[in-house]
Amino acid sequence: HSRSSRTEGDSVTSPGSSGSRTKGDMATVLLLGAVVGAADPTTTAPPYDTGLSPCPECAGTGWEITIHPNPGATGERQQTSPESALSGTNASRVLDNGVERESYGAGYSALIAFSGYSSVPLCTKYNRTKPINGHAMCPLTRDWYKMWPPDQATMGNPLCWGDDMMSYIKNGGYSAAEGTTTITGGCPNAGSPEPPFKFNGYDFRYGGIRPQDNPYASLYPALAQSIEDTVAKTGKKVAVRGCSGGTINGYAFLMSQTKEWRQKHIMAFVAIAPVWGGTISSMKSILYGPDQAKGDSRCLYRAVSTLLPSVLWMWPHPGEGAGEWNKTEVLVQSASKNYTAYDLDELLTDLGLPESQKIYDIEKHDYLDRFEPPMIDTYVFYGYGLATEAGFKFKHNFSKETDGPLVCPTDPPVALKRTWDDGDITAPLRSTARAQAWAEAHARGGYVLRNAGYYQQHHGCDCTTDKCKQDYACILNKLQGKDHVGC
């Protein structure tokens, strides 16, 4: 593990609550067990790398719940690109690969939208032969109910709701809980069968590797067929748009198809507030719980997130390339150990989370790890220059007794940041700007890559700076076959 020196006089303080957003109260009843004991006073905390500093102003979004390398002296990467100099009102950095598309003719036939993480409603029903996880208090049969976003009036016992939300490993992949059917969108009438597939968004609990329980869960084959039918009927390609977590879900869908299929059916891919390289805040969801959830709700969300593939899908990727974290960059510091992106398996072991480790083993080598170029015209709009979590410091040593699946950790982490890697509050710069890795391949193939960064643009599904709003409107007009002066 990294062992770089701490500067004399360094201190760390707990992050403030400013900027955090509570997304509504859930049920406050939860019986998940023990608490974290006091840190061992005899342990000596290891130094964190000198690129990290306390970040009391960080407003990390945790689970991202939305209801609606050049080494320095210590091996720490140093900022070598010009983003840090691009500050001020409407400052932006646009990197393209030299390929431009003057026009898209009559425009796309449809816009396939992958919205923000957890923004799509989920509706569930089940008929089981035995309780899940030994929870005998849970009913074995239930008609359609709105599982997400959670509603205290309809969710029932929080532990039963957690059983419904969690994923389950089956044959090296995933499945829903036994006897359970989940669809996206609104709930059918009571007693109704599962409706025919209609693309209402994606089940955010999964990433690029999806269960095959039904078309809504597997998603990609049914969506691809729907796109093929649209293109055949209209004679025009479709465009794919993703924002926030929808950028990587849209990307995973595209990469699940062949290059020939993408080039035949997809006019362009548009990404706003991407999280290509994952988020550090997603780690907090498992280490402690998401920022938005308070009290017992935090304990419940933390327990659920340990078994949600998409949370572990968004963990940082080890490596030396764009959007990756090298062996010197500390992400998590306990009382006596440092963890880099190369130590995340060990971190899950130390936390006492073997089921989470099984999920991580499935997730860590998928589309985001390979990050191959989509080889279709791609337009990216990302933010940078806002304080963004880069790591966490804890007072205690991790263990099953203090951090395992049946406990609720009570040692809140101190947020740390790397100023040069400040992104859009949710994702660090290396993650939001990672698409630049595709520039050369797209240039050779004759495909656009416009990778545009906007200073102090906040994470979200809409541009928050005037310059981004102007650029996005122009690009969208171009894709629709409308006037597009200026782009």
Q: Dihedrals φ, ψ of 351, to 5°?
A: -70, -15
> Helix, strand, or coil here: 466?
helix
Read off the pLDDT band of 129 (50, 70, 90): very high
Residues 6 or more apart whose Cβ sits within 8 Å of residue 64: 116, 117, 118, 244, 245, 279, 281, 282, 290, 426
Q: Whole-angstrom Cα distance, residue 36 to residue 397?
A: 10
Q: Which pLDDT does position 33 carry in this prediction? A: 25
Q: How distant is the alpha carbon of residue 90 from its chain centre?
A: 26
pLDDT for the residue 40: 31
Which tens digits make up the pLDDT trace of 77-102?
A: 333 333 333 445 567 888 888 899 99
Query: Model confidence over 391-409: pLDDT tens digits?
Result: 999 999 999 999 999 899 9
pLDDT confidence band for 113 (50 / 70 / 90): very high
How many whole angstroms separate alpha carbon 57 and alpha carbon 225? 46
- What are the strands, taking DSSP E only, across 300-455? 330-333, 338-340, 377-384, 391-393, 414-417, 449-455
DSSP state of 196: P
